[in-house]
Structures are given as structure tokens and as C-alpha cells.
Structure 1
Amino acid sequence: MKPVALAYKPVGFALGAASGVLAGMVFDQVWKRLGHEDDAPDATDEHRAWGEVLAAAVVRGAIFAGVKTAVDRAGAIATRRLTGTWPD
């Protein structure tokens, strides 16, 4: 394993955690605007319909994937700019 890739591992873990928190905050705001509710439904919410629960899961997953990809990509680009090497 390349030294840059090894050094990037803890940075990648930190960025992953930060992207999860950021994605959660983005989802909460998007759901409030889409659903006019404070809380998105969970799979075990008894009084929510299947469609609502599945829609929330799809929106949450799409936002999480998009935010995580953007943060990971930005971290890799920053690493290349700092070290001249792309982290693998």
C-alpha cells in the first residue's frame, strides 16, 4: 500500500463520518420542505403508509449517496493537490 493511501485512511474515515452527519442535516431540511413535517417516517412508524415510508427511505438514500460521493471526491482531490498522488 502506498504511503499516501495509508495516511489517507484516517482522513477518509473522518470524512465519511462528517458526510453522514451532513447528509442527515440535508435530509431533514429537504423532508421538511417536501413533506411539511418535522420528522420523516421510519420503517416502524405504525401510523404511516407504505408509500410515505418508502419515499422517505429513497430520498434519504439518494441524499446520503450524493453527499458521501461529493465529500469523498473532494477529499481525494485535496489529497492529490497536497501530495501529488491520488489516494487509492
Structure 2
Amino acid sequence: MKASKIAYKPVGLAMGAVSGVLAGGLFKQVWKKLGHDEDAPDATDEHRTWREVLSAAVLQGAIFAGVKAVVDRGGATATRRLTGTWPG
């Protein structure tokens, strides 16, 4: 395994945690902007419709994946700038 890949592991883990927090906050804001005053529904919330539960899950998944991709790509690009090699 390359040294740059080993060195990137802890950085990648920390960035993953940060991206989760950022994505969670972004999802809450988007959910409110879409006209929902309450928290997003859980799959087991019996007082919510299937449509509401599934739309919240799809939106949340898309936001989490997008934020993770941005953070991971930015981290890899920064690593290449600092070390001269791509961490992957």
C-alpha cells in the first residue's frame, strides 16, 4: 500500500465525519424549505404517508451522497497538491 494512501486514511475518516454533519444540516434546511415544518419522517412513523417517508429518504440519500462526493474529491485534490500523488 502506498504511503500517501496510508497517510490519507485518518484524514479521510475525519472528513467523512464532517461531511455527515454538514449533510445532516443541509438536509434539515432543504426539508424545511420544501414546506415541511416538522422533522423528516422515520420509516416507522405510522402517522406519515408512504410518499412522505420515501421522498424524505430519497432526498436525504441524494444530499448525503453529494456532500460526501464533494468532500472526498476535495480531500483527494488537496492531498495531491500537498504530496504530489493521488491518494486512491
TM tier, smaller: over 0.9
Count of paired positions: 88
Q: Deviations over 1:14-66 (max 9, x none)?
A: 01111011000000000000133131111011100000000000000000000
Matches within 5 A, 1:42-53: 42-53=42-53
1:26 is the counterpart of 2:26: yes
Where do 4+ consecutive residues of structure 1 move more than 4 Å? Answer: none
Shift of 1:80: 0.2
Q: Supply the AA of the counterpart residue of 2:47.
A: H
Give 5+ residue unaligned stretches, structure 2.
none
Of stretches 35-44 and 7-16 in structure 1, the one that deviates more from structure 2 is 35-44
Partner of 1:4 in structure 2? 4
Range that drifts further, 63-72 or 28-37: 28-37
Q: Kindly report the root-mean-square deviation, in angstroms, between the aligned alpha carbons of the 2 structures.
A: 0.7
Match of 2:35 in 1: 35
- 1:73 is aligned to 73
